[in-house]
Chain A
Amino acid sequence: MIQPVGQRFAPDFLTELFRHPLDPGYADAAARRASHGPRPPWRRRGAFALRVLALLVIGFLLAVAYRVAVRAEPESTRAHTGLVEQVKAAQAGSDALRDQDDQLRRQVTLAQQQALGGTAEQLRQILIQQAAVGLAPVTGPGVVVRLTDAAAPIDPNTGKTSGAEVNRVLDVDLQAVVNALWATGAEAIAINGQRLTALSTIRTAGATVLVDFHPVLSPYEVSAIGSAELAGRFGQTTAAAELRDLVSRYGLGFSTRTEDHLALPAASGPTLQYAHPPVTPTSGAPR
């Protein structure tokens, strides 16, 4: 191919690039050597040293770039793991506090026994009332209502589980179940081992259901202690009917079974709030 000197890059630069990827300088240098003869030995040695130096630099560059890339890539992952660790540490701390709470409550019970005497009527009253409000662990026969999220939908094209949103059990479903159980005579209820009291909350945060601000996950097991007819009566409530409807429409899981022996833990102590009169009387008569 004949090319005028000085017009190394043809107008169609990309086509030229595809056809002759090698730097044209190599061909020039080879032509110069052919016409003028090889360079003097001292220049060849100098050029060789430069080549070795350049290759050293290239290798160094590759290693450094690799290190930087490895260090920079999981930036988001690292932030995520950091947050996960923080959450786990906070959960461990809260669990430890809860254990301490349980221990202190046992000490209170012991102190009450010592103060009132082992068989006192008041002590029995206290225990019954504590069990009723959820501050003491209880055992007895009852029912377990089991709710599960729907299975992840299958993508019809790939045959694999698709990333589409699954149908979840919502806080309102759990609320309906709990309210129906209370209404049909349950004496104590726990969701996934979280005892409910009169002040408990069941709410949603994102895709997670929180019971008393503690996350609970599917499968949700609502354990309720009550009389033998509890299961039958619960099955006739509108809440149960609605759940059966959800099962047929959205594929949620819903089942009820009776248990002869259920053990429910105590709820963590309630934070009692008291109204206080203002220290300085407000001026003017109350409206």
Chain B
Amino acid sequence: MIAVLALIAGVVAGILVEPTVPVALQPYLPIAVVAALDAVFGGLRAKLDGVFDDKQFVISFVSNVLVAAFIVFLGDKLGVGGQLSTGVVVVLGVRIFGNVAAIRRHLFKA
């Protein structure tokens, strides 16, 4: 419950504060969002599985975002452009799908 409230509070804060994202950071935003979604769905699934762990959740979120940002940065510097981040999106996307399917089975038994 508190977790959901915290998430909503973060969204509201983001809407109210209207921060300006520096142009240099803008390429990292989409991939960071995907990484964050992976952490959220992973945490939710773990919660439903009964194995949720705060430390694991926080660490997976932080490391996901950092690794994703690093891969985008690396792809940029190597000149392969978005191709490395495609790999990130595929891996995280597969995980999100799998976890959402598990959540669905928990919630709807189907």
Q: Which residues on A sit within 8 Å (CB–CB) of B57? A: 51, 54
* Residue in A closest to B60 when the chains form the complex, CB atoms: A23
Q: How far is the CA of A57 from the CA of B110 in the complex (A)?
A: 32
**B13, A63: Cβ atoms closer than 8 Å:** yes
Q: How large is the interface on A (under 10, 10 to 19, 20 to 34, 35 or more residues)?
A: 35 or more
**Does chain B have a CB within 8 A of A56?**
yes
**A22, B33: Cβ atoms closer than 8 Å:** no
**Does chain B have a CB within 8 A of A274?**
no
B36, B95, B96: most-surrounded residue (chain A CB, <10 A): B36
**Does chain B have a CB within 8 A of A116?**
no
**Does chain B have a CB within 8 A of A78?**
no
Contact of A61 among B32, B59, B60 (CB under 8 A): B32
**A17, B21: Cβ atoms closer than 8 Å:** no
Contact of B56 among A25, A59, A67 (CB under 8 A): A25
Q: How far is the CA of A60 from the CA of B3 in the complex (A)?
A: 14
Chain A stretch 104-143: residues in CB contact (< 8 A) with chain B: none
Classify the interface of chain A: helix, strand, loop or mixed. Answer: helix
We find that the number of chain B residues with CB closer than 8 angstroms to chain A is: 49
Chain B stretch 49-89: residues in CB contact (< 8 A) with chain A: 49-62
Stretch from A42-50, A158-166, A209-217, A265-273 at the B interface: A42-50
Produce 1/0 per residue, B18-53, CB < 8 A to A: 110100001001101100100110100110011111
Q: How far is the CA of A269 from the CA of B6 in the complex (A)?
A: 71
Q: How far is the CA of A27 from the CA of B53 in the complex (A)?
A: 9
**Does chain B have a CB within 8 A of A58?**
yes
Produce 1/0 per residue, A16-50, CB < 8 A to B: 01101111011111100100000000001001101
**A61, B33: Cβ atoms closer than 8 Å:** yes
B54, B56, B59: most-surrounded residue (chain A CB, <10 A): B54
Q: How far is the CA of A65 from the CA of B10 in the complex (A)?
A: 12
Q: Which residues on A sit within 8 Å (CB–CB) of B6? A: 52-53, 55-56, 59
**Does chain A have a CB within 8 A of B107?**
no
Provided the pairs A29-B51, A63-B10, A67-B18 are in contact, do residues A58 and B58 lie with their beta carbons within 8 angstroms? no
Q: How far is the CA of A20 from the CA of B12 in the complex (A)?
A: 33
Q: Which residues on B sit within 8 Å (CB–CB) of A17? A: 91, 94-95, 98
* Residue in B closest to A21 when the chains form the complex, CB atoms: B98
Provided the pairs A29-B51, A52-B6, A55-B3 are in contact, do residues A62 and B11 lie with their beta carbons within 8 angstroms? yes
Provided the pairs A50-B58, A63-B10, A68-B21 are in contact, do residues A58 and B40 lie with their beta carbons within 8 angstroms? yes
A14, A30, A33: most-surrounded residue (chain B CB, <10 A): A30
**Does chain B have a CB within 8 A of A275?**
no
Residues of A within 8 A of B (CB): 14, 17-18, 20-23, 25-30, 33, 44, 47-48, 50-69, 72
